[in-house]
């Protein structure tokens, strides 16, 4: 199918999202939930979790914005480095040996 080549990219993105989500959940749970004797969260725990998750989501958005802004520069630098290495390899290649009649 036409979508098959992009499937690994989608799976990698999903994996990355789930890793971030799981880390955020674990961090906020450890930081905010202190009483496991009750089924429901206390008001204090809810406020802590809202603040914790909000802060992490906000910082993640800021990081992603910076990444998106820097990505074109990084890609241009990589392309320039690649072109320079290809040009260097081309100029460093030994000259073709001369034919038998060249002496």
Asked if residue 17 belongs to a domain, the reply is: yes
- CATH number of the CATH domain containing 21: 1.10.287.810
Domain that holds residue 36: 11-86
Asked if residue 49 belongs to a domain, the reply is: yes
Asked if residue 33 belongs to a domain, the reply is: yes
Using the structure block, give the residue that is written with the tokens 């799981």: 22
pLDDT at residue 41, rounded to an integer: 93
pLDDT in tens, the chain (103 residues): 444 556 688 888 889 889 989 999 999 999 999 889 889 999 999 999 999 999 999 998 998 898 888 888 888 999 999 999 888 887 765 555 555 555 4
Question: What CA–CA distance (Å, rounded) separates 59 from 20?
Answer: 12
Question: What CA–CA distance (Å, rounded) separates 52 from 59?
Answer: 11
Q: Coil, strand, or helix at residue 3?
A: coil
Question: Would you list the DSSP string of 12-60?
Answer: HHHHHHHHHHHHHHHHHHHHH----SSSSPPHHHHHHHHHHHHHHHHHH
Asked if residue 95 belongs to a domain, the reply is: no
Number of domains in the chain: 1
pTM (2 decimals)? Answer: 0.55
């Amino acid at each position: 199918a036409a979508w098959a080549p992009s499937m690994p990219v989608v799976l990698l993105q999903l994996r990355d999202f789930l890793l971030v989500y799981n880390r955020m959940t674990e961090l906020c749970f450890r930081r905010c939930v202190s009483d496991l004797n009750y089924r429901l969260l206390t008001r204090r725990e809810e406020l802590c979790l809202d603040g914790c998750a909000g802060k992490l989501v906000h910082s993640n958005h800021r990081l992603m914005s910076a990444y998106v802004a820097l990505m074109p520069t990084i890609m241009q630098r990589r392309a320039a480095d690649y072109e320079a290495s290809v040009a260097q390899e081309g100029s460093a290649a030994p000259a073709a040996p001369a034919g038998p009649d060249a002496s």
